[in-house]
Amino acid sequence: MLKLYAGERAKGIEAVIKASKLCQAVFNKLVKSQTLVKEDASPVTVADFGAQAVVNHIIHQAFPNDPIVGEEDSKDLRENQSLCDKVVELTNSVVETPLSTKQILDAIDLGNYKGGPQGRFWTLDPIDGTKGFLRGEQFAVCLSLIVNGEVKVAIQGCPNLPRNINDPNSQRGSLMVAVKHQGVFERSFEDSKETRVKVADAESPSDTSFCESVEAAHSNQSDTFKIAELLNIKNKPIRMDSQCKYAVIARGDAGIYLRIPTRADYQEKIWDHAGGSLMVSEAGGKVTDIDGKELDFSQGRTLKSNRGIIATNGKIHDQVLNAVKQVLHK
């Protein structure tokens, strides 16, 4: 019998592999000259647009009734001909039948859905960790399916992630695939053989290490330092861009991922956490916000009823949550 969401899982893998290839091709050819700064001052590259066009196009062809909540839109591209031409060329280098400029811009804008509590929709971050991508470090192509507010399928391409975190020379490229109640698996981009992964066994926070963003503006690193001290964690933090941090927790390379808000007004985006939270929970771990509340993906494009993120191997979650509360409420 075909497993639940088998079709979505397979299409999602195909789309994420193609988009990841596009990103790698961009990195090898360009990169910085083709970067724009968005209104919120974050960078966006031809690869972000191209990857969103590719994934949206493939998903829309396979599931024409499914709306998509995607990070990017085509507004800036429509005002910049040379960037637009580059995105068209790139997109057509990975899709099966060449698409017109209009089809590509329209595919990007399929990502404008508002989300919400009812029905099914996909959410896409075509490149999560654009800053890491530009540095040649970690980034991820993140696609998930949400049904009635619950994440059911997650596919995350991490082209630069070493298969063995302790050996930077180990093979790079990790594709993580999770379906609700079916576990989370890791494979390479080339070989479809999948290996089931599990979170770390650590019974105590001091037996593990934690990971956090490279960017001090995205997570308060002086608070995480105090939290680690309180938990008697001696290992240095693993600093890494993007949702690769969730993959690292799901694979058991680290026991804790902390994202402590730096600004009261920042709302986390659903495409930054949907896939990661399913991967960690399917690997046996736990994800909540810093108040211990479950992440609520039914609130629209953002996680407006949550603050910050704590992801752990599960066993140590309450200890970590208590330490976070102590440090933040002091």
Ligand X SMILES: Nc1ncnc2c1ncn2[C@@H]1O[C@H](COP(=O)(O)O)[C@@H](O)[C@H]1OP(=O)(O)O
Among 21, 218, 226, 286, binds ligand X (CB under 6 A): 218
**Residue 299 beta carbon to ligand X: minimum distance, rounded to whole angstroms:** 17
Q: Which of 107, 143, 141, 140 is nearest to 8 (CA)?
A: 143
Stretch of residues binding ligand X (CB under 6 A), selected from 5-13, 186-194, 201-209, 258-266: 258-266
Among 8, 128, 186, 282, binds ligand X (CB under 6 A): 128
Scanning residues 43 to 102, which ones bind Mg ion (CB under 5 A)?
71
Q: Is 217 in the site for Mg ion (CB under 5 A)?
A: no
**191 is an annotated ligand-binding site residue:** no
Q: Is 24 in the site for ligand X (CB under 6 A)?
A: no
Dihedral (CA of 141, 248, 309, 146) sign: positive
Residue-wise burial string across 61-76, b where 16 or more C-beta atoms lie within 10 A, e elsewhere: eebeebbbbbbbbbeb
Stretch of residues binding ligand X (CB under 6 A), selected from 52-60, 156-164, 215-223, 227-235: 215-223
Shorter beta-carbon distance to Mg ion: residue 185 or 271: 271
For residue 232, the number of C-alpha atoms closer than 13 Å in the C-beta half-sphere is 6
Q: Phi first, then psi: what are they for 75, rounded to 5°?
A: -55, -55
d(CA 62, CA 58) in angstroms, rounded, equals 6
* Tokens 């070493």 -> residue: 162
**Residue 207 beta carbon to Mg ion: minimum distance, rounded to whole angstroms:** 30
Among 72, 186, 272, 282, binds ligand X (CB under 6 A): 272
Site residue total, ligand X (CB under 6 A): 14
Q: Is 330 in the site for ligand X (CB under 6 A)?
A: no
d(CA 78, CA 76) in angstroms, rounded, equals 5
**Residue 202 beta carbon to Mg ion: minimum distance, rounded to whole angstroms:** 28
**Residue 216 beta carbon to ligand X: minimum distance, rounded to whole angstroms:** 9
Q: Are 288 and 277 in contact (CB under 8 A)?
A: no
**71 is an annotated ligand-binding site residue:** yes
**128 is an annotated ligand-binding site residue:** yes
**109 is an annotated ligand-binding site residue:** no
User: How many residues does the structure list for the chain?
Assistant: 330
How are strands ordered across the β-sheet holding 256-259? Answer: 238-239, 210-212, 256-259, 309-312, 286-288
**253 is an annotated ligand-binding site residue:** no
Where along the sequence are the contacts to ligand X (CB under 6 A)?
40, 42, 128-129, 213, 215, 217-218, 241-242, 262-263, 266, 272
Where along the sequence are the contacts to Mg ion (CB under 5 A)?
42, 71, 125, 127-128, 272
